[in-house]
Structure 1
Amino acid sequence: MPTASWNGVVIAQAADDQVQVVENNIYFPLSKVTQAYLRPSSHTSICPWKGTASYYDLVVDGQTNANAAWYYPQPKDAAKQIAGHVAFWRGVNVER
């Protein structure tokens, strides 16, 4: 069962058939992410084939990991399977 954790806390967990793997990143359905740990960020980035990514900061036990989660609010057709999904980086431990 794929799991994302940071600062000793599980942030997301989902069954294998609920996640999407794109470019070696595991995208969790937003419904499987504990949203209490997410804080919207103003940061964005652009991928030529996925579209414009938006970011969340992770806030756990008073510590912030800036822009540690990203998602595509309106992914391009080539990446439509990751709509409604969130991926993690910047020290977030993601295991399969």
Structure 2
Amino acid sequence: MPPVPPTPPGPGQRSVWSFPRPPALERVGQTVRIDFGGREIARTEDALQVLETSHPPTVYLPPDAFAPGVLVPRPGTSGCEWKGRAVYFDVVSGDARAEKVAWAYPDPTPRFAALKDHVAVYAGPMDACWVGDERVTPQPGGFYGGWITSAVVGPFKGEPGTWGW
């Protein structure tokens, strides 16, 4: 638990402290879109979200949600104890390029099989990310990729002093 009490959720909200560990996977249930380089680069009604204790949801879009050529594979991988081996992408739109800001699981663990090839994107480097009509706030810190909306309350892991939570 955090050193400060979790924020009590209001109507229509959930506390990230009620999210499970190991994480859960569920549909977002709203239109998700991403703007970068002055244009919309992704849009879907079929996004998934991973819900993990102390984290705002990490949103994953199916690969066909992205405009052609936007995702450029990068060398290297990393591992997640829950989801498996991740691969990385740069995001490119016109003259704009954000390096290693997207990732996917080409062969996820059975529990997260629905994530196969879906792509998550760090919200911070993008022009804007949206869930429904709400602009997303990036999860604090540079390691985690959660998207904060008014539907979740924290405190959120990622802020200074939260590494040990």
Q: Structure 1 length as normaliser, TM-score? A: 0.87
Whether contact under 8 Å (1:30, 1:84) holds in the other structure is yes
Once the two structures are superposed, what CA deviation does each residue of 1:18-75 show, in whole Å capped at 9, x if it has no partner? 1101131111110111131111100321100100100110122223211111100000
Q: What are the equivalent positions in structure 2 for 1:1-96 lying under 5 Å apart?
A: 1-15=31-45, 18-23=46-51, 24-89=57-122, 90-92=124-126, 93-96=128-131
Relative contact order, higher structure (CA 8 A, sep 6+): 1
User: Alpha carbon RMSD of aligned pairs, Å?
Assistant: 1.4
Partner of 1:80, secondary structure, is: helix
60-69 vs 72-81, which moves further: 60-69
| Contact 2:36-2:96 at 8 Å conserved across structures | no
CA distance in 1, matches of 2:36, 2:76: 20
Bigger radius of gyration: 2
1:35 and 1:51 map into 2 onto residues whose CA distance is 26
Q: 1: CA distance between counterparts of 2:37 and 2:59?
A: 19
Flag the structure with higher strand content: 1
Structure 1 consecutive aligned stretches of length 4 or more whose deviation exceeds 6 Å: none
Answer whether contact 1:20 1:26 (CA < 8 A) is retained: yes
CA deviation after TM superposition for structure 1 residue 84, in Å:
2.5
* Alignment check: 8 A CA contact 2:48 2:59 kept: yes
Whether the 8 Å contact between 1:41 and 1:55 is mirrored in structure 2 is: yes
More helix by share: 1
Is the Cα–Cα contact under 8 Å of residues 43 and 67 in structure 1 kept in the other structure?
A: no
Q: How many residues align?
A: 94
Unaligned runs of 5+ in 1: none
TM-score (norm 2): 0.53
Contact kept in structure 2, 1:88 and 1:94, CA below 8 Å = no
